[in-house]
Structure 1
Amino acid sequence: MAFENSHQFAKSLDRQDSLKSFRSKFHIPPVKGKPSLYFTGNSLGLQPKSTKRFVTEELDDWAQLGVEGHVHSRRPWMYHHKLTKKYLAAVVGAKPGEVVAMNQLTVNLHLMLVSFFKPTPQRYKILTESGAFSSDQYAFESQLKFHGLDPNDALIELSPRAGEFALRTEDILSAIETHGQELALVIFGGVQYYTGQFFDIAGITKAAKKVGATVGFDLAHAVGNVPLSLHKHDVDFAVWCSYKYLNAGPGAIAGAFVHERHAKSFDGPRFAGWWGHVEKERFQMRKGFKPMEGIDGWQLSNIPILQSAALLVSLEIFNEAGMKAVRVKSILLTSYLEFLLKDIDPDGKYFTIITPSAIEARGAQLSLLMLRDGKKIFNALTKAGAIVDWREPNVIRLAPAPLYNSFDDVYQLGLLFKKALK
């Protein structure tokens, strides 16, 4: 599509937008009495307007039913974790029995590493990207130390080539082949939080499996953002949070995926809790853990109902919109933003876009490496009513979320950016 830097053109895109009605389903935070330009859905998604009703219904059931709400509430608490399964499966490309909402992201990551990182004297290394989100780095380091391994030896972190900002897929695949005989685990983020790069999940998984390594992904910045096919691509496990693109609220309940081939045959180590015990015997309170089939066997505790209700609201919106339509709009929104930014700073005096330009290698995020006056420009945008994200030492992240951002939002952000550069 040939873009234009004009308000009229942005409005024409909004008129053609098949998802334009979904914006009205969300609360847009005000700044100085006007709706803000909210571009931080990659950090915290906006609140759906129906969240309060869903959560209030659970509070009302608690007030009226007490403990009986576990079986007699309108959404019985005993089975609340099952309500989101089919929706989560559609978002991540899985079967309902392969996904569950539980815990927090890093808790789930540790649970998966306990089960799927099984080092031997020959295979003991973890391969990942350099500059992974700090929680992931800490998890990898602590798991290696738990096994008596030195992270300086056992952790392989891949960096982009000199002068580049994103990892080339060919370099990732080459590293997997080079270190293949030593690799116990290959694990990447689905989308790199700092650069916004969308990794080739299918290619990485295939290469890892070829050398005999287990493969997992942290989908914190990918879930609800980019198309995923975890089952089809044969990923062993994945984890994610739900407070970014999934709009389930600050500190929201997280989620996890385990491929169905591990459902019945899994005989490796795991940390167990009572909610992972076979459902029909759970309340017999007997010694001896018997895991449920599939990912449900990795559950530790009963689900926090208020958090689950908030997640259910957003997932119903995603189900109504459809991930295919979300992705189509996301590509157009982000491409239009890229066009406007390059039109504003054509010579690259103020910033460089470090997110890959290829649409298949990015999601709803552009990361701008600020070359001069970065913090001043960020502060000017904030003061003018644009809620964007600053990442040390010098990157501004912009994330147009398809469910609630409009093309007019993108155009107005462009105007504020142009003014801030002056």
Structure 2
Amino acid sequence: MQFENTLGFSQSLDKEDRLSKYREQFHFPKVKGKQVIYFTGNSLGLQPKNAPSFVNDIMEDWANLAVEGHFHAEKPWWDYHERLAKPMAKVVGAREEEVCVMNTLTVNLHLLMVSFYRPQGKRTKIICEEKAFPSDQYMLQSQVRHHGLDPDETLVEIKKREGEHFWRTEDVLSKIEEVGDELALVLIGGVNYYNGQVFDMEAITKAGKKVGAYVGWDLAHAAGNIELQLHDWGVDFAAWCSYKYMNSGPGNASGIFIHQTHLKNQEIPRFEGWWGTKKETRFLMKPEFEPTGTADSWQLSNPPVLSLAPYLASLEMFEEVGMAALIEKRNRIVSYLEFILKEIDKETTGSFEIITPEDRGCQLSVFLHGQGRQLFDYLMENGVITDWREPNVIRLAPAPFYCSYEDMYRFGQILKEGILKN
């Protein structure tokens, strides 16, 4: 399609958009009395308008039933988390028994490391990406130290090539082969938070397993954003937050994936708790732990249903729309945003550079040349909610559920005004 940088053309794309009606199902902040252009669904998704009703249902059951709500609420609390498994599995390409929602992201990564980082002999090393998200770095370093190892010797970072803004798959595969039988684990962010790059998870997983390592993925920026086929790719484990592209609310519960091949393996250690035992015997208070045989076996405590309620509200929308339709719109709206950016760049004589490679999801990261924080502040003051990352990058993530093509055009005009004024 031949794009045009005009209001009329952007509005024509919105008229063709089958998902445009979902925009009305989200709350938008306002700046100067006008609805914002929202580019930070990669940090916190907008609130679905139906989310409060899901929370209120639980509040009413608590008021009217008290403890009996565990079993006699319309959606009983004791198995509330199970309602999220089916739609969540579809989002990440898993079987229903391979997923569970519990805790928060870094907590779950720590728990999964108990099972899948088991250094023995010379097989101790972990491969991760250079400058991973800080929480992942802290988690990996502390796990390595917990095993009495030195992070400087144990963590192997895949670096970008000199002068490039992205990682090359061949460099990752080469490093996996080089580390070989010293490699215990590959753990990488499936979509990099800084530049928006999507890693070739299938190829990297295959390479890691070929040398005898476990392979896991932090999918914080991937779940609800890109196509995932965790089961078919043979991924050992993964975890993701739910408050970015999945719109579940700030700091909300995390999802985990554990491949079917590990679910009934008695040799894999894990931390255990009451809610990981079989439902049939859970309330018999038996002293022996009886795992469910599903990913629920990694669940420690009863589910925080007030947190899960808005997640369920959002997942019902994902179930209705499907990832294929979301990805189709994502591809077009991100391409249109890229076109708008390049047009504005021509008009402002090279003021910025897109550093996100072609392997991408919703996010475009833009490196500003000579504009800096002043331009970011101008955008925010004029109703463009975006994200700043040091040293000079703004991240733009047009989430397909609620961003419009007209948003892309109007953003371009505000961006041009900001550059020319600053």
TM-score by length of 1: 0.98
Q: CA deviation at 1:393?
A: 2.0
Q: Does residue 378 of the first structure (1) align with residue 376 of the second (2)?
A: yes
Matches within 5 A, 1:65-80: 65-80=65-80
Residue aligning to 1:202:
202
Q: Distance in 1 between matches of 2:68 and 2:52?
A: 22
Secondary structure at the residue paired with 2:106? helix
Residue aligning to 2:299:
299
Q: Distance in 1 between matches of 2:54 and 2:181?
A: 51
Deviates more, 1:404-413 or 1:279-288: 279-288
Q: 2:402 aligns with which of 395, 401, 404?
A: 404
Residues 329-384 of structure 1, C-alpha deviations (whole Å, 9 max, x = no match): 0011111111111111138732211110x2xx100000111221210100000011
Instruction: State the one-letter code of the partner of 1:20.
Output: S
Q: CA deviation at 1:229?
A: 0.3
TM-score by length of 2: 0.98
Q: Distance in 2 between matches of 1:391 and 1:258?
A: 32
Q: Distance in 2 between matches of 1:66 and 1:386?
A: 44
For the 8 Å contact 2:71–2:77, the answer to whether it is kept is yes
Secondary structure at the residue paired with 1:284? coil
Residue aligning to 2:261:
261
Q: Does residue 144 of the first structure (1) align with residue 144 of the second (2)?
A: yes
Residues 251-286 of structure 1, C-alpha deviations (whole Å, 9 max, x = no match): 111110000111112422211111111221212223
Q: Distance in 1 between matches of 2:110 and 2:303?
A: 18
Matches within 5 A, 1:117-156: 117-156=117-156
Identity of matched residues, %? 54
Residue aligning to 2:354:
353
Matches within 5 A, 1:179-198: 179-198=179-198
Gaps of at least 5 residues in structure 2 are none
Residues 398-418 of structure 1, C-alpha deviations (whole Å, 9 max, x = no match): 000000000001111111111
Q: CA deviation at 1:292?
A: 1.5
Q: Distance in 1 between matches of 2:168 and 2:266?
A: 34
Residue aligning to 2:85:
85
Residues 83-108 of structure 1, C-alpha deviations (whole Å, 9 max, x = no match): 01100000000011000110000010
Q: Distance in 1 between matches of 2:312 and 2:293?
A: 23
Residues 52-107 of structure 1, C-alpha deviations (whole Å, 9 max, x = no match): 11111110111000000011111110110100110000000001100011000001
Q: Distance in 2 between matches of 1:373 and 1:400?
A: 22
Residue aligning to 2:411:
413
Q: Distance in 1 between matches of 2:202 and 2:246?
A: 23
Instruction: State the one-letter code of the partner of 1:161.
Output: R
Residue aligning to 1:338:
338
Residue aligning to 2:387:
389
Deviates more, 1:57-66 or 1:275-284: 275-284
Matches within 5 A, 1:7-86: 7-86=7-86
Instruction: State the one-letter code of the partner of 2:257.
Output: F
For the 8 Å contact 2:106–2:139, the answer to whether it is kept is yes
Residue aligning to 1:176:
176
For the 8 Å contact 1:5–1:340, the answer to whether it is kept is yes
Secondary structure at the residue paired with 2:238? strand
How many residue pairs end up in the alignment? Answer: 419
C-alpha RMSD of the superposition:
1.0
Deviates more, 1:257-266 or 1:148-157: 257-266
Matches within 5 A, 1:238-257: 238-257=238-257
Q: Does residue 212 of the first structure (1) align with residue 212 of the second (2)?
A: yes
Instruction: State the one-letter code of the partner of 2:313.
Output: V
For the 8 Å contact 1:65–1:73, the answer to whether it is kept is yes
For the 8 Å contact 1:262–1:294, the answer to whether it is kept is no
Residues 25-44 of structure 1, C-alpha deviations (whole Å, 9 max, x = no match): 11111111111111100000
Gaps of at least 5 residues in structure 1 are none
Instruction: State the one-letter code of the partner of 2:61.
Output: D
Q: Distance in 2 between matches of 1:113 and 1:265?
A: 16
Q: Distance in 2 between matches of 1:266 and 1:377?
A: 56
Q: CA deviation at 1:290?
A: 2.1
For the 8 Å contact 2:262–2:268, the answer to whether it is kept is no
For the 8 Å contact 2:99–2:256, the answer to whether it is kept is yes
Instruction: State the one-letter code of the partner of 2:387.
Output: D
Secondary structure at the residue paired with 2:126? strand
For the 8 Å contact 2:330–2:399, the answer to whether it is kept is yes
Q: Does residue 284 of the first structure (1) align with residue 284 of the second (2)?
A: yes
Q: CA deviation at 1:2?
A: 1.5
Instruction: State the one-letter code of the partner of 1:33.
Output: G
